[in-house]
């Protein structure tokens, strides 16, 4: 589904922040993206959500070479990707409802469908009573749920989350990861960028480890099944 | 009783109504926070002022065009014949002789088939003509006054003026034909230059407006850079984003343009009134035809459409820098 071949990224005339990155994400897979600060995680994430184009190498997403796509095709491709940003990036002039509805409106879905789907999803993430609230009046956790709802409302084929548990305590962090796990089981390919070792240990998924711009793939350590690992979370 | 008192106090107390904070009160119109932008008023005002100037420039151009047309039309098929009051040696000819030569010339002219009318100018008309140079208190008898004949040809006539002048010299040896062509050409050239200046001014005003609109849109985009980037990353196409700015600019331009045209028309009316009261004849007549009025009334529409296209072009250029 997603294939990176000898991908490199350089800002200006500086050194390469990503060097010869090669990996494949199969449909419905779940990966953690980890590595020390400055290793290039944010840069790789921005390549994944097509916020940047690589300075070298080949990227194929959903069977298409992104280097050969025009602007409209790239926009259509981005619509198939859901992103939860580290700082949520909610639009503060819009209600929670309109924030979540935004990707559907961009896709030009009918208003009736938007109303039903967004209301249902907001109820599901426990924000049914806050649909008219502006994001800056919500708590950090609530904002994060709005951001997640916005990322998943279109049932994206690829879900990217940048440090989604960064500002949360462990319990809420684990709950959030369980939500991503659930979406993954429904067929969404998930990539989570995180530093949180305990979360990576709890959820046994493959790890993309970045170090000094170079990527290696690690299999998860075998430590019991998922049910055992999540005991105490639910 | 308690309930009644509570109701009464709630009616009296203006602060009783609970305020609702942190809730989106307005219906969502744009994905970008355009309605709350600080430069909306600036853009509206700028387009309004430019429209005022545009209306003035356009009206001036219309008025000058009408004036030139009136002059040309008024003098078309008309000439004047002058019977000088002095002979070739500079000697003054007796007024009686001049008068009889003038009458003879008029008589001869009126016999021609191509002449619709040849009338000798009355003394008071000649006095009026000469008054700017000689003053109103001139004594006509003491000044040699030339004879003047105003000639109107038939509309389809194409007279040979050189031949006519030779014929006139049979009755008045120094008769001279003045076609007004020389000075009329100068005036037409001058008003043409003024009209061109007015049109050029209108174009400069239009170009300045478009540059300012582009600047306003650019500043709006940089003000909302993060939101713009977010929409782009969510898969909004360039035209989806541009449409929002286009619609917003169209509304602002129409508001500013309509207000500007109304203000411009009021200003025109005031200028016309003041000029009329002052008796300034040099100010062109600001009476516009129905078509010209209609053109002024609909002028905010092309202004707004141009502003909208400028916004689109500017947004697409900014977006083109994103991957």
Q: Cβ of B27 under 8 Å from any chain A Cβ?
A: no
- Structure confidence by residue, pLDDT tens digits, A151-187: 989 989 999 998 887 666 777 777 778 888 888 998 8
Over chain A, what is the mean pLDDT? 87
Please indicate, yes or no, whether residues B198 and B312 belong to a single structural domain of this protein.
Answer: yes
In a domain, B235, yes or no: yes
Sequential DSSP letters for B85-122: SB-TTSPBPPHHHHHHHHHHHHHHHHHSTTEEEEEEPP
Same domain, yes or no: B139 and B253: no
Report the pLDDT value the prediction gives residue A100, as an integer from 0 to 100: 94
Task: Please list every residue in chain B whose beta carbon sits closer than 8 Å to the beta carbon of residue A76.
Answer: 235, 237
Q: Which domain holds residue B51?
A: 39-72+185-319
Residue A233: pLDDT band with limits 50, 70, 90: very low
Asked whether residue B67 falls in the same domain as residue B93, the answer is no
Q: Indicate if B198 and B165 belong to the same structural domain.
A: no
Give the closest of B24, B229, B323 to A134, CB-based.
Answer: B24
Q: Is B316 on the interface with A (CB under 8 A)?
A: no
Any domain includes B16: no
Chain B positions in Cβ-Cβ contact with residue A43 (cut-off 8 Å): none
Whether B49 is covered by a domain: the verdict is yes
| Chain position carrying tokens 């009206």 | B59
Q: Where are the domains of chain A?
A: 90-154
pLDDT recorded at residue B138:
60
Chain A residues lying within 8 Å of B231, measured CB to CB: 102, 106
Are B168 and B241 within one domain? no
User: Considering the domain boundaries, does residue B26 fall inside one?
Assistant: no
B43 burial class (0-12, 13-18, 19+ CB within 10 angstroms)? buried
- Computed from CA positions of residues B203, B209, B215, B217, in that sequence, does the dihedral angle turn out positive or negative? negative
Q: What is the model's pLDDT at position B156?
A: 79
Domain endpoint, select from B144, B174, B204: B174
Angle at B148 between CA B283 and CA B81, to 5 degrees: 95
Instruction: State the pLDDT at residue B219.
Output: 84
- Nearest by CB to residue B233, choosing from A51, A94, A107, is A51
pLDDT value at residue B263 = 92
Q: B10 in a domain, yes or no?
A: no
| Whole-number percent of chain B with pLDDT over 70 | 81
Q: Give the whole-angstrom CA distance, residue B316 versus residue B311.
A: 9
pLDDT of residue A168: 66
Q: Do B259 and B126 have their domain in common?
A: no
Stretch 112-151 of chain A: residues touching chain B, C-beta under 8 Å: 132-134, 136-137
Nearest by Cα to B275 from B267, B266, B283: B283
Chain-chain contact of B234 with A94 (C-beta, under 8 angstroms) = no
Mean pLDDT of A186-193: 91
Query: Using CB atoms, which residue from B23, B232, B234 is nearest to A133?
Result: B23
B65-123: pLDDT as tens digits: 777 777 766 666 788 888 888 777 777 787 788 888 888 888 888 888 888 888 888 77
Q: Which of B142, B174, B206 is the last residue of a domain?
A: B174
Find the CB nearest A102 among B36, B226, B234: B234
Say if residue B209 is in the same domain as residue B153: no
Give the pLDDT score at A22.
92
Tally C-beta pairs within 8 A across A and B.
Answer: 76
Same domain, B67 and B208: yes
Identify any residues that bridge with B92 across adjacent strands, giving them in sequence order.
B86
Q: Do B234 and A93 touch (CB under 8 A)?
A: no
User: What does the pLDDT read at residue B75?
Assistant: 66
Q: Which of B126, B145, B174 is the last residue of a domain?
A: B174
Show the DSSP H helices in B139-282 as ranges. Answer: 161-171, 181-223, 225-233, 238-278
Say what the pLDDT of residue B24 is: 56
Cβ A31 vs Cβ A208: under 8 Å: yes
pLDDT at A234: 44
Q: Let me know how long chain A is.
A: 234
Q: pLDDT tens across B20-79, in order? A: 555 555 565 688 888 777 778 888 888 899 888 888 888 888 888 777 777 766 666 788
Q: Could you give the number of structural domains in chain B? A: 2
pLDDT at B281 over 60: no
Instruction: Specify whether B306 is located in the same domain as B219.
Output: yes
Query: For residue B112, what are the CA distances in angstroms to B100, B164, B169, B170?
Result: 19, 10, 15, 15
Instruction: Evaluate whether residue B104 is within a structural domain.
Output: yes
């Amino acid at each position: 589904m997603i294939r990176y071949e000898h991908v490199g990224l350089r800002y200006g005339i500086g050194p390469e922040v990503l060097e010869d990155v090669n990996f494949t994400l199969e449909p419905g897979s779940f990966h953690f993206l980890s590595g020390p600060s400055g290793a290039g995680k944010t840069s790789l994430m921005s390549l994944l959500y097509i916020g940047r184009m690589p300075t070298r190498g080949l990227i194929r997403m959903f069977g298409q070479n992104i280097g050969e796509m025009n602007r409209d095709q790239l926009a259509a491709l981005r619509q198939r990707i859901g992103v939860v940003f580290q700082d949520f990036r909610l639009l503060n002039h819009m209600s929670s409802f309109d924030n979540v509805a935004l990707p559907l409106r961009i896709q030009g879905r009918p208003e009736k469908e938007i109303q039903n789907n967004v209301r249902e999803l907001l109820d599901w993430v426990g924000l049914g009573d806050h649909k008219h609230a502006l994001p800056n009046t919500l708590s950090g956790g609530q904002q994060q749920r709005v951001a997640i709802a916005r990322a998943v409302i279109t049932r994206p084929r690829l879900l990217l989350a940048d440090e989604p548990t960064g500002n949360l305590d462990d319990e809420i962090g684990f709950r959030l990861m369980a939500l991503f796990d659930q979406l993954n089981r429904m067929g969404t390919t998930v990539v989570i960028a995180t530093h949180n070792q305990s979360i990576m240990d709890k959820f046994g998924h493959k790890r993309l480890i970045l170090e000094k711009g170079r990527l290696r793939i690690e299999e998860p350590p075998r430590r019991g099944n998922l049910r055992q690992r999540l005991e105490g979370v639910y | 009783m308690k309930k009644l008192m509570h109701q009464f106090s709630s009616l009296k107390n203006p602060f009783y109504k609970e305020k609702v904070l942190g809730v989106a009160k307005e219906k969502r119109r744009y994905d970008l926070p355009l309605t709350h932008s600080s430069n909306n008023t600036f853009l509206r005002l700028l387009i309004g002022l430019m429209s005022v100037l545009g209306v003035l420039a356009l009206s001036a151009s219309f008025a000058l065009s009408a004036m030139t047309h009136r002059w040309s039309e008024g003098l078309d098929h008309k000439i004047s014949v002058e019977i000088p009051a002095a002979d070739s040696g500079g000697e003054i000819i007796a007024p009686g002789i001049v008068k009889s030569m003038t009458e003879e010339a008029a008589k001869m002219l009126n016999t021609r088939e191509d002449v619709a009318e040849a009338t000798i100018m009355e003394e008071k008309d000649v006095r009026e003509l000469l008054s700017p140079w000689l003053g109103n208190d001139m004594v006509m008898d003491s000044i040699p006054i030339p004879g003047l004949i105003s000639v109107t040809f038939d509309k389809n006539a194409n007279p040979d003026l050189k031949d006519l002048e030779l014929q006139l010299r049979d009755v008045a040896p120094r008769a001279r034909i003045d076609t007004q062509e020389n000075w009329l050409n100068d005036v037409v050239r001058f008003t043409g230059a003024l009209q061109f200046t007015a049109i050029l001014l209108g174009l400069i005003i239009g170009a300045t407006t478009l540059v300012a609109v582009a600047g306003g849109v650019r500043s709006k985009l940089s003000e909302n850079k993060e939101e713009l980037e977010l929409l782009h990353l969510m898969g909004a196409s360039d035209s989806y984003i541009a449409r929002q700015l286009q619609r917003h600019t169209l509304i602002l331009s129409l508001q500013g343009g309509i207000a500007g045209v109304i203000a411009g028309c009021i200003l025109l009316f005031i200028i016309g009134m003041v000029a009329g009261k002052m008796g300034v004849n040099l100010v062109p007549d600001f009476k516009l035809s129905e078509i010209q009025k209609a053109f002024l009334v609909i002028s905010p529409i092309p202004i707004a459409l141009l502003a909208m296209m400028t916004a689109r072009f500017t947004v697409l250029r900014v977006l083109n820098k994103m991957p």
